[in-house]
Structure 1
Amino acid sequence: MTFRILVADDHPLMRAALRQAVSDSLPGATTIQASRFSEVETALHDIPDVDAVLLDLHMPGMNGLIGLVLLRSEFPALPVIVVSAMEDAATVQRCMQYGASGFVPKSAPVNRLGEAIQAVIDGAVWVPPVDAADGSTDDRDVAARVAGLTPQQLRVLAGIAEGKLNKQIAYEMGVVETTVKAHVTVILRRLGVVSRTQAAIVAARLALSSPTDPAPDADPVATDAGCDLSRAAV
């Protein structure tokens, strides 16, 4: 079977490493590249039958976990595998709570990525062995509330998180300001808050600390197991 995998990361070296890892693990697979979240959405709308997305959490336009939730809302049947340098138990758990089908640390060997892709395409969930982190009931409640928002409402929430005015959000979305105001009203109700400021605070909880950028001379390095993702970028 030939797979079609969307590789989404803003670092060219990391994309190259991921493409090589896909090629080594899944011979004959086709890869599509994206360097920002808007390119991910465009590719998924324009290219049929994408089997899985390898998603970096920190590319431009992601707005933390909001981007992940938006993808799950727009393409509910599409497996999304987060590939991240942040591999602590809390980050893994939050990604799974917000809809990821799998999580692969960038420190993982190439065969681990192949295992994850195959597993999620087969309908399973794939996570690395990490210490348990149960998370609070409040965390789960926020995840459930955010997951109930529509794609357009999630875009508005992302704008609120960035401190944008309704007219700015409306311009970027190509809608009238009254439409944004209507979305804001629904967002406040579904999040259980009464102001944009409170909504922004909730949205801020979906943000993630950005990992250290790779050194300018960083380079993917082949190992006995294939391309070690951790050597390409973080």
Structure 2
Amino acid sequence: MTAASETGRFLIIDDHPLFREALHSAVQMAYPDVDTVEARSIAEALDLLAGATSFDLALLDLSMPDVHGFDGLLQLRTRHPRLPVVIVSGHEDAKIISEALSYGAAGFIPKSARKDDLAAAIRSVMDGAIYVPQNYQPQPADADRTDRADMVQRLSKLTPQQLRVLQMLRQGMLNKQIAYELQVGETTVKAHVSEILRKLNVYSRTQAVIEVAKLDNADLFREQAGF
């Protein structure tokens, strides 16, 4: 999508029809010639994204029925890293906004925003900016360092085999592929994944991959896991 043509396709992901309509209206105000496609779940959104038609932007509600917390954003970011994803949420807590941005969100727009503000925010993101509410105060850097230190400590609890499995998860490998590489059964791989999630204190393999990627410790993994 180019600024000159202002044509393209946006994906609206929200389970509430009134909010989908509100976002559609805001998009039309910002880009009258843009097509909007709606998804009522993350699964439906992923099916649409897997199709032949490409999208220029996704507008995502955090509270979706088929995912928990940030898992919807994480799935979109890991499977479609080039797609800008903007969170449009009723939650406006600074910590939630900071976490969304740390997971790669291209912006965070409160659902309480007026339609013209929504339209301006969408234009801002399409122009390459990271949009946040005017009253947003970034979290202190010390908090980020503490979170990273905590994750490093959790990683130290993983066994060498669990580190190998985690590295393979980062490569996008499925349980069956991991089992083949390690010459173990899929049940064993599933047990390793469960232990990895428990030790890292995350609720999905997708979140584990994203959290670890923020540490940029690929070399450490290869050294510890024997790659």
Range into which the TM-score falls when normalised by the shorter chain: 0.5 to 0.7
**Partner amino acid, structure 2, of 1:89:** A
**RCO (CA 8 Å, sep 6+): is it higher in 1 or 2?**
1
Distance of 2:171 and 2:15 partners within structure 1: 23
Note the alpha carbon deviations across 1:69-89, whole angstroms, 9 max, x for none. 121111111000000000111
Size of the aligned set, in residue pairs, is: 176
Q: Does 2:28 match 1:27? A: no
Note the alpha carbon deviations across 1:173-229, whole angstroms, 9 max, x for none. xxxx944743663x57xxxxx565435x3228x7xxxxxxxxxxxxxxxxxxxxxxx
**Partner amino acid, structure 2, of 1:203:** Y
* Contact 1:8-1:53 at 8 Å conserved across structures: yes
Q: TM-score, normalised by structure 1?
A: 0.64
Of residues 1, 11, 15, the one that matches 1:6 is: 11
TM superposition shift of 1:62: 2.4
Distance of 1:21 and 1:61 partners within structure 2: 25
Who is 2:120 aligned against?
A: 115
Larger Rg computed on CA atoms: 2
Q: CA RMSD in A?
A: 3.2
Who is 1:182 aligned against?
A: 189
Tell me whether 80-89 or 58-67 shows the greater mean CA deviation.
58-67
Who is 2:89 aligned against?
A: 84
Q: Does 2:96 match 1:100? A: no
Who is 1:203 aligned against?
A: 203
**Partner amino acid, structure 1, of 2:139:** A
Structure 2: segments with no counterpart, 5+ residues: 1-5, 156-165, 176-183, 208-227
Q: Does 2:80 match 1:75? A: yes
* Contact 1:89-1:131 at 8 Å conserved across structures: yes
Who is 1:139 aligned against?
A: 147
Who is 1:62 aligned against?
A: 67
TM superposition shift of 1:20: 1.2
Q: TM-score, normalised by structure 2?
A: 0.66
**Partner amino acid, structure 1, of 2:119:** G
1:110–1:31 CA distance, 2 compared to 1 (3 A): same
Q: Equivalent pairs: percent with the same residue?
A: 35
Who is 1:213 aligned against?
A: none
* Contact 2:8-2:33 at 8 Å conserved across structures: yes
Tell me whether 133-142 or 32-41 shows the greater mean CA deviation.
133-142
Who is 1:45 aligned against?
A: 50
Who is 1:226 aligned against?
A: none
**Partner amino acid, structure 2, of 1:90:** K
Structure 1: segments with no counterpart, 5+ residues: 157-176, 189-193, 207-234
* Contact 1:98-1:143 at 8 Å conserved across structures: no
Distance of 2:82 and 2:75 partners within structure 1: 13
1:70–1:195 CA distance, 2 compared to 1 (3 A): closer
Specify the SS of the correspondent of 2:66: coil
TM superposition shift of 1:47: 4.6
Distance of 2:188 and 2:75 partners within structure 1: 19
